[in-house]
Amino acid sequence: MKIAFVNSTRKWGGVKSWTLTFGRALAQRGHRILAVVRRENPFEAACRQAGFRVCPVRFGFKYDPVATARLVRVFRRERPDVVVVNISRDLEVGAVAARLCGVPVVRRVGLVEDLRGTAEERLQHRWLVNRVVVPARWMADALVSAHPWVPRGGVRVVLNGRNLEAYPPAGGSGEGPVVFGVTSQLSPSKGHGVLLDAAERLAEEGTPFRLRVAGAGGLRAELENGVASRGLGDRVEFVGFLEDVRPFLQRVDAFVLPSLKEGLPNALLEAMATGLPCVASDLPGTREVGGDAVLLVPPGDPGALAEAMARVSKDPQLRRALGPRARMRVGTVFALEGQVSVLEQVLREVAPR
């Protein structure tokens, strides 16, 4: 098949990581991958590096007729068998162009709240979308329960798989105190403020630790000010955006994900695949990923988060138990090859014979 992935978002997040991971795996199976992406975005270079055929475009405004016509020309020239879209302009321009060309559309929904149930959205799904893909089992039931107009038979679960061969076991920081890492966008839903509150408590209690924060976003200045006001400047380091987080994960001793909401978190999967002991907010998505291999704490509770981080920091035996257990869980439940096969089957269901 020739598979077109449409991605109009500016920020680098889970959707882009998912596209690169599954696109590469599908290409290795002989499928041809076309990436339709926003111009002048780092994702364009990443797709080229992955070996995808890339068509950078300007997506314009909502239902922009000029942008839609532009994508119609792309699809008529490239002749994809199926188009994969996500949210926002992907659907409002990319899916419209695909349907005008008679190309079936698969929509990936990363969060239940990405669907609001408006009349417009119902029409979009009725006329534009052939299948919905979600990254977690809990989401399939939650989505249909929240939006009965989404046909249960049209929703498929494709877990965010990982290939352990691409994630060598972590070597650790080589420093004295345990170094915690966090990799996610610096946005309110990721809970960095809660993490700083927990870090302040750890410092007040005299727990030895350091924290390295990878990621970019609108909250960086506010978070840096929070570090300074809490007196944590010698313990917390911001390293900025990382296109590939694997070297970063290799140089920390443990991982923390303080999110306030998640679908099925790529960041946690990557840390677990690296064999890091992990602490994460107890959300449906993190629970599905972590199982009994991750220390789960109530979301938004800095006291519980600090307590779990202190346990990891002070107990090397616990770290040695959690890390291998996490890596094994990824290699069995979230093996990439199996999930690529599931996605491949979904795409074949709608692609022309």
Dihedral pair phi/psi, residue 33, rounded to 5° = -110, 125
Average pLDDT over residues 177-187: 94
Q: In the numeric block, which tokens belong to residue 265?
A: 């978190």
Q: How many distinct structural domains can be found in the chain? A: 2
Q: Which domain range does residue 31 map to?
A: 2-161+335-350
What per-residue confidence (pLDDT) applies to 315? 95
100 and 202 together in one domain: no
* For residue 191, pLDDT beyond 80: yes
CATH number at residue 182: 3.40.50.2000
325 and 179 together in one domain: yes
Per the DSSP assignment, residues forming a β-bridge with 57 are 38
95 and 109 together in one domain: yes
12 and 132 together in one domain: yes
pLDDT tens figures, 271-290: 999 999 999 999 999 999 99
Q: Please, what is the average pLDDT of the chain?
A: 93
DSSP code for 291: T
233 and 267 together in one domain: yes
Angle, helices 192-205/220-229, rounded to nearest 10 degrees = 20
pLDDT tens figures, 294-304: 999 999 999 99
154 and 38 together in one domain: yes
Q: In 3D, which of 236, 250, 248 has the Cα closest to residue 198?
A: 236
Average pLDDT over residues 55-62: 91
286 and 219 together in one domain: yes
